Amino acid sequence: MELLNKGKAKSVYKGEADLIIEFRDDLTAGDGAKHATMEGKGALNAEISARFFELLDEAGMETHFLGYEKPNRHLAKEVKIIPLEVICRNIAAGSILRRYPFEEGQEFTPPLVEFGFKSDEYHDPMLNDEVAIALGAVKDRGELNRMREMTLRVNDILRGFLAERGVILVDFKLEFGWDRDGNLLLADEVSPDTCRFWDAETKEVMDKDRFRRDMGDVLEYYREIRRRVYGD
Ligand code: UDP
C-alpha cells in the first residue's frame, strides 16, 4: 500500500478508491516531545472513533468516514485537510487554564469554540478569523462559521450520547477537510486521544491526560470508554 502520510498516531494509505487510515499504538504529547507505544491503543481508538462517526453519520452529518475494519483501520474519503484544529469546550481544562483566568471544571454555557493553527513548529497557536484567512487556511469567514456550526452540532450529539453512558464530554478537537466535489467533511478521529472525558460520578480522567500527566492506567481507561460507548 502506498503511504500518503505518517502522522503522530495514524498512518494514511491510498486504498483502491478511498483512503485507509491505520490507527497506531503511538501516544504523543507536548507536540511530540513525549512519546510512548501502548499495545492495543490504536485498535481501541479506531473502534471508539468508528462508533462516534457512525453516530454523526446517522444524525446526517457529512464526514469522511466510510467504514471500520477490525482491528485498527478506517476506510475514509480522501479530503484536503484544512490546517486548523477546531476545539470545543464545555468545561474548562487543559491549555485554556494557562491562557486565561478560568477555574478548572467551570462550565462554559454556551460551549466555546476556538481555532488553532495546526503546526508543531509554532505549537498550534490559537488564531482569530483574520489570521486564519491571512494564512490561507480558509477562504473567508463563511468557511470558519460552517466549521463552528458543525463543531457545535458534533458537541450536541456526542455530549448527549456520552452523558447517557456516565461520561462527561469536557472538550475535544476536530479537523475538517474538502472533498473533490467541494464538500466540507468532518475528518480525522474522535477518540480519547483527541477528547477529554471525565467519569460523571467520580470525575476521574478517562482520556489522554492520563498519559500527558503521568497518571497511569492509560489503556484501562480507554478500554472503559470503549465499553461504555458500545454498551458491553
Ligand atoms: N487536542 C488534540 N490535539 C492537539 C491539541 C488538543 O487532540 O494538538 C485536544 C485535547 O485532547 C483536548 C482538546 O483538544 O481534548 C483541548 O486541548 P487543549 O487546548 O486544552 O490542549 P492541551 O491541554 O492538550 O495542550
Domain boundaries in the chain?
A: 2-76, 80-217
74 close to ligand 1 (CB < 6 Angstrom): no
Phi, psi of 217 (to 5 degrees): 55, 35
- In ligand 1, the atom with minimum distance to the C-alpha of 30 is 25
pLDDT per residue over 109-120, tens digit each?
999 999 999 998
Decide: helix, strand or coil at residue 65.
strand
What single DSSP character describes residue 128?
-
194 close to ligand 1 (CB < 6 Angstrom): yes
Mean pLDDT of 94-104: 98
- In ligand 1, the atom with minimum distance to the C-alpha of 208 is 11
Nearest partner of 44 among 12, 5, 70, judged by Cα? 70
Contacts of 208 (CB under 8 A, 6+ apart): 27, 29, 192, 193, 194, 218
Long-range contact set of residues 122-131: C-beta below 8 Å, sequence gap at least 24: 123/31, 124/31, 124/85, 126/99, 127/84
What confidence tier does 78 reach under pLDDT thresholds 50, 70, 90?
A: very high
Cis peptide leading into residue 110 (ω within 30°): yes
* Fold topology of 2-76: Phosphorylase Kinase; domain 1 (3.30.200)
**Amino acid type, 100:** Y
The pLDDT score that the predictor gives to residue 31 is: 83
Question: CA-CA distance, 96 to 156, in Å (whole number)?
Answer: 21
Residue 72 has pLDDT above 90, yes or no: yes
9 close to ligand 1 (CB < 6 Angstrom): no
Residue 63 has pLDDT above 90, yes or no: yes
- In ligand 1, the atom with minimum distance to the C-alpha of 118 is 8
Which CATH number fits the domain 80-217, given the four candidates 3.30.470.20, 3.30.930.10, 3.40.190.10, 3.90.1310.10?
3.30.470.20
Question: CA-CA distance, 80 to 179, in Å (whole number)?
Answer: 6
| Atom 19, ligand 1: residue with shortest CA distance | 95
Helices 41-58 and 141-163, packing angle to 10 deg? 110
**C-alpha cell of 111?**
460551549
102 close to ligand 1 (CB < 6 Angstrom): no
The pLDDT score that the predictor gives to residue 96 is: 98
Q: What is the dihedral of CA 170, 128, 138, 66, to 10 degrees?
A: 0
The pLDDT score that the predictor gives to residue 101 is: 98
Cα of 201 to ligand 1 centre, how many Å? 23
87 close to ligand 1 (CB < 6 Angstrom): yes
- In ligand 1, the atom with minimum distance to the C-alpha of 193 is 11
Contacts of 127 (CB under 8 A, 6+ apart): 84, 115, 116, 117, 135
pLDDT per residue over 7-49, tens digit each?
999 999 999 999 999 999 999 998 889 999 999 999 999 999 9
Mean pLDDT of 173-179: 98
Contact in structure between 197 and 225 (CB atoms under 8 Å): yes
Residue 219 has pLDDT above 90, yes or no: yes
Q: Beta strand pairing status for 80-81 and 167-178?
A: antiparallel
171 close to ligand 1 (CB < 6 Angstrom): yes
228 close to ligand 1 (CB < 6 Angstrom): no
What confidence tier does 125 reach under pLDDT thresholds 50, 70, 90?
A: very high
Taking all residues of the chain, what is their mean pLDDT, rounded to a whole number? Answer: 97
Residue 154 has pLDDT above 90, yes or no: yes
